Structure 1
């Protein structure tokens, strides 16, 4: 039942035994949830945080379940795997955001399975990206520019295609395992457990309390000198956590300030993403070049690794120039103003 002050969320079509289910009762047909459709209506700061948590978790867990099935189907598999990974990240963020309102053991069960899905989808997605880049983008590495190099490149694409096929298997296995474990039934029990929790903390107060430590953790990381790829990756992770939390709690803050913070974090993610993508690609090419079966392609893999290392270094320098002290101060001030003001301000 919709609470006063909250616009109804999009209808969910994956209730067990309900109309609109596919012939396989475990394969829901749910329209994928994007960022804009999952945001709460404005001015919900006085609504119970429990109610917001229940709605958010139900929507996001149902969306993961739908995307998990879609990623196992034929067709636009690459895009579906990407959407599955994003859906799991956003759902894990919601579990963390509302952690103290959730039944502990049920939340832990979902968090563990979501991390498995994220890991499997992440491996598959990384291979998708590498394959698409190798096929579509010109490679500047000299050993791949000659006729012989083009042949090696073709063999690498074939190798990646085989690895992509293998990377899909864990996703399909997870779907079967989680269907047997009654994912949808467990979702219902988790949501019911939230409703039974005692207390009625207003969502606005709850959002400010939960967002503040995430903000402090992010800026503690951001203010440190980023010495290596691992530290840059950790900053990106903290930025993602803060961005997802800001999205979850968006209804509790003034829209203009919230939008400014969200835009800055999204740009940070894009800028950092250029570096981490190239660094991850270089690492994969390095590992593959050391495998026993890579003898014929070792020169090509080494050339690709060097090219990715160079691109990663350029991206790191570009990020360091962009992410200066002035930009960090501006973003911190925007977040501090956001936390101080209410939606009614």
Structure 2
């Protein structure tokens, strides 16, 4: 928990003030804030409720502040590889939007550092107050393995339950991606309490899953943005270029979906489920 919160603290000023040196600062900050949120959620019962809620709320602010900036960075990187005149014009538009999006990152940075660094001070106080709370303080402390097993099980069950839905539906696929992220973050936090085979077998599969779903999400987000820009432009040449780019983006979206469904086979799902069940146990709801 300490290392994940400290990483957010380190990356926030870089993403706010050094973003022109590297687009990765914003990207890494977004990922770090997600991981820190997942950590607080996992160990919530060990944390002072008010402080945990406040810090989790700020992490959400940080993550949301980076969304547009990161989307602009990804699109600008792709456009920079196209030397055509319409691409150059569109790149200029994206860069202007990126400059505007940076204000959200700067605003959240200033919010976190105001009042003599309130965010950093509250993170420090939170970390000083991590301990078992409530009735559990009077009972025998469970081993980390037992505790981890109990906390991983519902996240695992939710993941496979979401996987059973119609993943051709955009909303359902998005829910599945979120469930996969939660499971991956939980595994990162808890894998030390389980047999090494869980990280060696299950984690690479989850990484591959997230990579494929991430590509689908990137193409879907780009398509939505291009559609919006196409509906707003009055320039014929730009409109033609946007139409061509939108067609290409939709084709890549379709291809990325096809690659995902070819990869996410029944055999792959069984392989992943068995990797978890060997060390976590089976879902009691599926035993009968």
Q: Same fold (TM over 0.5)?
A: yes
Partner of 1:173: 107
Partner of 1:8: none
CA shift digits 1:50-108 (9 cap, x unpaired) = xxxxxx2x221111011001112334330101110110010011011112222112111
Contact 2:79 2:88 in 1 (8 A): no
Structure 1 residue 340, shift from structure 2 partner? 4.2
Matching residue of 1:259: 200
Q: 2:58 pairs with 109, 113, 129, which one?
A: 113
Counterpart of 2:10 (choices 38, 45, 66) is 66
8 A Cα contact 1:275 1:316, kept in partner: yes
1:295 matched to which residue of 2?
Answer: 234
Q: How many residues align?
A: 272
The answer to whether structure 1 residue 89 and structure 2 residue 34 are counterparts is: yes
C-alpha contact (below 8 Å) 1:229/1:279 kept by paired residues = no
TM-score (ref. length: structure 1): 0.75
Establish whether residue 305 from structure 1 lines up as the match of residue 254 from structure 2.
Answer: no
- Scaled by the length of structure 2, the TM-score of the pair is 0.89
Counterpart pick for 2:258 among 305, 317, 340: 317
In 1, the alpha carbon distance for the partners of 2:97 and 2:175 equals 27
Q: CA separation in 1, counterparts of 2:44 and 2:247?
A: 43
Please identify which structure carries the higher helix content: 2
Does the C-alpha gap of structure 1 residues 270 and 137 become closer, same or farther in structure 2, counting only changes over 3 Å?
farther
Deviation at 1:135, TM superposition (A): 1.3
SS at match of 1:136: coil
Corresponding residue for 1:135? 80
The alpha carbon displacement at 1:207 in A equals: 0.9
Match of 1:41 in 2: none
- In structure 1, stretches of 5+ residues that fail to align are 1-55, 139-149
Distance in 1 separating the partners of 2:258 and 2:192: 36
Give distance in 2, aligned partners of 1:184 and 1:197. 24
1:311, distance to aligned residue in structure 2 (A): 0.7
Q: Aligned residue for 1:79?
A: 24
Cα 1:323–1:121, aligned 2, differ >3 Å: closer, same or farther?
A: same
Q: Deviations over 1:280-334 (max 9, x none)?
A: 110111112223xx22223322221221111101111111111111110110111
- Aligned counterparts of 1:97 and 1:272: Cα–Cα separation in 2: 23
- The answer to whether 1:153 aligns with 2:103 is no
> Whose RCO is larger (CA < 8 A, sep 6+)?
1
Q: Which of 203, 206, 212 is equivalent to 2:147?
A: 206
* Residue 279 (structure 1) aligned with residue 228 (structure 2): no
- Classify 1:129/1:195 alpha carbon distance in 2 versus 1 (closer, same or farther; 3 Å): same
Structure 2 unaligned spans of 5+: 283-288
Whether contact under 8 Å (1:221, 1:235) holds in the other structure is: yes
Structure 1 position 191 matched with structure 2 position 127: yes
Contact 2:219 2:252 in 1 (8 A): yes
